[in-house]
Amino acid sequence: MAPYETLCRLTRETAILQSIEALIGWDERTYMPPAAGEYRAEQMTYLAGIVHQRRTDKRIGELLGELATSPLTKDKHSDEATTIRQLQRDYIKQIKLPQTLVEELTRASVLGQQAWVEARKNNDFPSFAPHVKKLFELKRQQAEALGYKSCPYDALLDDFEPDALTADVAKVLADLRKDLVPLVQAIAQAKKRPDASILTREYPTAGQEAFGKAAAAAVGFDFHRGRLDVTHHPFCSGMGPHDCRLTTRYDEHFFPSALFGTLHEAGHGMYDQGLRPELYGLPPGMYVSLGIHESQSRMWENLVGRSRAFWQHFFPKFRETFSSARDVSLDNFYFAINSVQPSLIRVEADEATYNLHIIVRFELEQALLSGDLPVDDLPGAWREKYQQYLGIEPTDDADGCLQDVHWSAALIGYFPTYSLGNLYAAQFFEQADKDLGGLATQFSCGDFAPLLQWLQRNIHHRGQCHTAAELIQLVTHKPLTHAPLIRHLRAKLEPLYGLA
Ligand code: ZN
């Protein structure tokens, strides 16, 4: 077999193992009985070890060496050149990581997540602290093994947002914060207020589930190739070219949580479903970066799901489904779901203040990694930052530093990709609106296919043939800036709050 075909075969076999890892990881977070935790950790550690062995196999290195000057690499953005380039990148990173460290990290993150579930339930940070110490110590070792440009955080960020640098991300977030803070302050002082109590009436789970599934299907999530289940901390996980699992959680007294969570995860799912199935497991059939992945979820959640046009279509069905909301008007409902209010829980934060939640985490995890912030001081530092950026602070750690799964799962350097996702989403959406000639009219008729097809054509089908920076330039003819997101927020919020 020719070297390129051999390389693809070996890579696809590794993808089979990784999809099995994803499947047992999904099970662990949805239906696994609690007593199965220790053995599941062994299963996952063992599989991660095999995957790491395969990705660092000398044979892969030899094949990549043979292919380095192959004519297949000529057209940089072709599927073949992308496969060779990205596998080379992955191989170089992987061989720098000792097998023992990979196994230790997997084990620590499985145990960490189990400890986190208990700690959050019992509001018991001290029981979780040893896991955080262990995880950050292992991540420091990882950064040192990989090497970095300016700071260890660069090395960890690269796992989630390839080629991005800490300093650049910090700058984009600073630009955004500069324009966002005055907007949020103006809203806080506005006389016009939404009636948010509309959203905390009685919304039975069965109705929410039916409504959420119908909405996800209407925007284009394919339930023949995916499903929706319940978990503590919603996520989306792909485990094969035709198997994408969404999860959500239901709160009978807070309507937005499940619906917008479902639309968010469906946005991730539609990206997975939009990748070319015949290239599953190979770079041209894989997502670009978590920032680009998040741009898809935030687009469907916020730019589509919280738009007036979306609700012009869905509001009659909403009133029909929930008897408690029969007297609510579309205008009042639309204002309520776009309410801006500093809050404690990131996943329930509004579009405008959301990035402040991210900045808190981005700063704290850098300080934890560098050692400037001792783990035991985390709850206090968390409260201080919330006070500083959002003007509020949690009374217990369950609503504070225990609310997110990420650190317990060794996902350090992940948080900033949420904000990058917001920025990418707004910039892509502005371009799609221009290209497709008025998305609002289409949404109000329940027609979401043109946008989804635009995303498939411009983003999903391209896989990793372009970097995130190349992709935004190619599709929108500009580099990433914070301006489209600010324009979108002003255009929506200033009229609502009587500021325009
Ligand atoms: Zn997401």
Q: Output the pLDDT for position 45.
A: 87
How far is ligand 1, taken at its centre, from the CA of residue 155, in Å? 22
How far is ligand 1, taken at its centre, from the CA of residue 417, in Å? 9
Could you tell me the CA-to-CA distances from 476 to 18, 53, 290, 488 in Å, in that order? 33, 40, 19, 16
Q: Output the pLDDT for position 390.
A: 86
- With the C-alpha atoms ordered 117, 118, 122, 124, is the resulting torsion angle positive or negative? negative
pTM of this structure: 0.91
How far is ligand 1, taken at its centre, from the CA of residue 298, in Å? 7
Q: Examine the pLDDT at 99 and tell me if it is beyond 90.
A: no
pLDDT confidence tier of residue 103, bands split at 50, 70 and 90 = confident
Average pLDDT over residues 210-220: 98
Q: Examine the pLDDT at 350 and tell me if it is beyond 90.
A: yes
From the candidates 21, 28, 161, 265, give the one annotated as an active-site residue: 265
d(CA 395, CA 155): 34
Residue that the structure tokens 């979780």 belong to: 128
Which CATH number is associated with domain 166-496? 1.10.1370.30
How far is ligand 1, taken at its centre, from the CA of residue 62, in Å? 37
Q: Examine the pLDDT at 253 and tell me if it is beyond 90.
A: yes
Sequence spans of domains, the chain: 3-148, 166-496
How far is ligand 1, taken at its centre, from the CA of residue 312, in Å? 25
Q: Identify whether 363 is a catalytic site residue.
A: no
How far is ligand 1, taken at its centre, from the CA of residue 264, in Å? 6
d(CA 22, CA 404): 20
> 192-198: which pairs have CB atoms within 8 A and are 24 or more residues apart?
192/496, 192/497, 192/498, 194/332, 194/335, 194/336, 194/338, 194/339, 194/496, 195/332, 195/335, 195/336, 196/336, 196/339, 196/341, 198/325, 198/328, 198/332, 198/333, 198/336
Average pLDDT over residues 151-168: 94
Confirm if 184 and 357 have CB atoms less than 8 A apart.
Answer: no
